[in-house]
Amino acid sequence: NVLFLTNKMSTYKMKIYNSFINSIGGNAHTELFIYHCNESLFLNLLEKSQGAYDYYLVMPHFKSTQLKHRSYSEAIIQGINSIPKGKLIIMDNNKIVLKGDYGEVYQDFENDIYHALNKGMGKIVGYKKLLLVYPEKAEYPYPKRIVFGFRKFCAEHGIDFEIIDEIYDDIILKKGDLFITIEESDLVSLVKQVREDNLEVGKDIGIISYNDTLLKEIVEGGITTISTDFKMMGTQLAQMITNKETNKIENPSDLILRKSL
C-alpha cells in the first residue's frame, strides 16, 4: 500500500504519478491525495494515515500566510519524522532536513535553471534583456531557488535582467526581450501580446517556458522549455520501492531548444 502525497493537481504532477503507476504495475495499491500546499491539510492527512501504508511518497511544497513558497516548518518536520524512514520517499523538493535513512528523487531548482541557461547561451546572447516572470503570490507558489539560479546566471555573464510578477495586459514589449515564464497563463498571455503587437516569437521576442508539454512542441513553431524529466521521476520512485532502496537521486533536467529561442 502506497500513499502518494502531492501539493497540487497539474499536468506535470500527474506525469509523475502516472509514470509511477505504470512502472510499479500490479505490485502496489496506490492512493493519491492532494493537499494544495496547505500545511494543516497535509498534517491532517499524515495523522489519519499513520500506520496504514507500507510507503509514503511525499512532495513537500507549502505556502506561507504571505503566499510565498516554503519547503517546511517545524510542524511539517515533526509530521514527516513520524513516518518510519524505511517507508518514506521525498519527491521533487529535497530542501527539508530529516533524520534517518530515507529515499529522495528531487529537482535542483537553482542549478537546473542555471545550467539550462548556460546551455542556451549561444542563443541567449542575441537578446538584449532577460525577464523572468516569477509569480510572487501564487495559489501554488514556486521555489525561490528558481530566482537564485536566474540571478546567478545573469550576474556571471553581465546580462541585463528583470524579474516581474506576471504578464500584464498592457505590458510593453521591446524587440530583443527574452522572457522566461513559469505559469501557463503567463505563457498564453505573452504569446497573445506578441501577436497583437505584430512581433515574431524567436526573432523579435524570445520565450523560454518551464515544464515541457506536447502543446509547447507545436505552438508558435515550438516553445523552448526548461524541464525536469517527470516520467523519469515516476520510474525512479517505483524502482526505489521495488528494490527497497533509500538512495538520494537528483532527477535530470534539460533545456529543450525550439524555435522560440
Question: The cell 524587440 sits on which residue?
Answer: 175
Residue 139 has a pLDDT of 84
Global confidence as pTM: 0.93
The DSSP secondary structure of the chain, one letter per residue, reads: -EEEEES---HHHHHHHHHHHHHHGGG--EEEEE-TT-HHHHHHHHHHTTTT-SEEEE---EE-TTS-EES--HHHHHHHHTS-GGGEEEEE-------S--EEEE--HHHHHHHHHHHTHHHHTT-SEEEEE--SS-SS---THHHHHHHHHHHHHT--EEEES---TT----TTEEEEE-SHHHHHHHHHHHHHTT--BTTTEEEEEES--HHHHHGGG--EEEEE-HHHHHHHHHHHHHTT---EEEPPEEEE--TT-
C-alpha cell at 57: 511518497
CA angle 113, 109, 174 (to 5 degrees): 40
Q: Taking the alpha carbons of 233, 239, 241, 246 in that order, is the dihedral positive or negative?
A: negative
How high is the pLDDT of residue 72? Answer: 86
Task: Going residue by residue through the chain, which has 261 residues, state the pLDDT in tens, using 9 for 90 and above.
Answer: 999 999 998 888 999 999 999 999 888 999 999 999 999 999 999 999 999 999 999 999 999 888 888 888 999 999 999 999 999 999 999 988 888 899 999 999 999 999 999 999 999 999 999 999 999 888 889 999 999 999 999 999 999 999 999 999 889 999 999 999 999 999 999 999 999 999 999 999 999 999 998 889 988 889 999 999 999 999 999 999 999 999 999 999 999 999 999
Identify the pLDDT of residue 58. Answer: 97
